[in-house]
Amino acid sequence: MLLYVARRLVSMVPVLLGISFITFALVTFAPGDAIRIMLGSETANVENVERMRRELGLDLPWYQQYVRYMTGVVQGNLGTSIVSRQPVAAQIAQRFPNTLVLTVSSMVVALGIAVPLGVLAAAKHHRVADYGAMTFAMIGVAMPNFWLGLVLLIVFGLELRWLPIRGIGSLDDGLWAYARHLILPAATLGTSLAALLTRLTRNTMLDVLGQDYVRTARAKGLRSGRVLYHHALRNALLPIVTTAGLQFGALLGGAIIVETIFSLPGLGLLSINAIRARDLPVMQGAVLVFAVCFMLVTLLTDLVYAAINPRIRYG
Query: Which residues would be at the binding site for other proteins (CB under 8 A)?
Result: 31-34, 36-46, 48-49, 52, 81, 83-87, 91, 94-95, 150, 153-154, 157-158, 161, 165-168, 259-263, 265, 269-270, 273, 276-278
3-state secondary structure the chain: CHHHHHHHHHHHHHHHHHHHHHHHHHHHHCCCCHHHHHHHCCCCCHHHHHHHHHHCCCCCCHHHHHHHHHHHHHCCCCCECCCCCCEHHHHHHHHHHHHHHHHHHHHHHHHHHHHHHHHHHHHCCCCHHHHHHHHHHHHHHHCCHHHHHHHHHHHHHHHCCCCCCCCCCCHHHCHHHHHHHHHHHHHHHHHHHHHHHHHHHHHHHHHHHCCHHHHHHHHCCCCHHHHHHHHHHHHHHHHHHHHHHHHHHHHHHHHHHHHHHCCCCCHHHHHHHHHHHCCHHHHHHHHHHHHHHHHHHHHHHHHHHHHHCCCCCCC
Which CB sits closer to other proteins, 107 or 287? 287
To other proteins, the closest distance from the beta carbon of 167 in angstroms equals 6
Which CB sits closer to other proteins, 28 or 309? 28
Which CB sits closer to other proteins, 138 or 154? 154
Which CB sits closer to other proteins, 85 or 220? 85
Task: Calculate the alpha carbon distances from 252 to 102, 189, 249, 289 in Å.
Answer: 9, 9, 5, 11
Which CB sits closer to other proteins, 124 or 180? 180
To other proteins, the closest distance from the beta carbon of 23 in angstroms equals 16
To other proteins, the closest distance from the beta carbon of 32 in angstroms equals 3
Distance CA 24, CA 16 (A): 12
Which CB sits closer to other proteins, 37 or 143? 37
To other proteins, the closest distance from the beta carbon of 290 in angstroms equals 18
To other proteins, the closest distance from the beta carbon of 242 in angstroms equals 34
Which CB sits closer to other proteins, 232 or 269? 269
To other proteins, the closest distance from the beta carbon of 131 in angstroms equals 35
To other proteins, the closest distance from the beta carbon of 153 in angstroms equals 7
